[in-house]
Amino acid sequence: MSKTTVDINTDQMERAQAILGTSTIKETIDVAIRRVIAEEAREQFIDLASTGYFAELADPEVRRKLRS
């Protein structure tokens, strides 16, 4: 883990803390970074799903075989 000094807009930090339910700057930044990463993963999953990649999972026979 690295330590970095940055200038942060106080009003934006306070708003982010209220939205995220965090109480420290470090916690707020950590949660915000995790949420950005999770959002990207969700977007990638949605993009993949929209191609029909998981379509066969809707087939009851395929689902039955996966459970076996």
* Separation of alpha carbons 52 and 34, rounded Å: 28
Domain region containing 16: 10-67
Beta-carbon contacts of 13 under 8 Å, excluding residues fewer than 6 positions away, are: 25, 28
Share of residues in the chain with pLDDT > 70 (%): 100
Confidence of residue 68 (pLDDT cuts 50, 70, 90): confident
Q: Classify burial at 67, counting beta carbons within 10 Å of its beta carbon; exposed 0-12, middle 13-18, buried 19 or more.
A: exposed
What local confidence, expressed as pLDDT, does residue 62 receive?
Answer: 85
Position 1 in a domain: no
Number of structural domains, the chain?
Answer: 1
Position 61 in a domain: yes
Question: Residues 39-67: what's their mean pLDDT?
Answer: 91
Question: Residues 27-56: what's their mean pLDDT?
Answer: 96
Position 4 in a domain: no
Amino acid letter, 38: A
Residue 56 pLDDT > 90: no
Confidence of residue 57 (pLDDT cuts 50, 70, 90): confident
Tokens matching residue 5: 């000094």
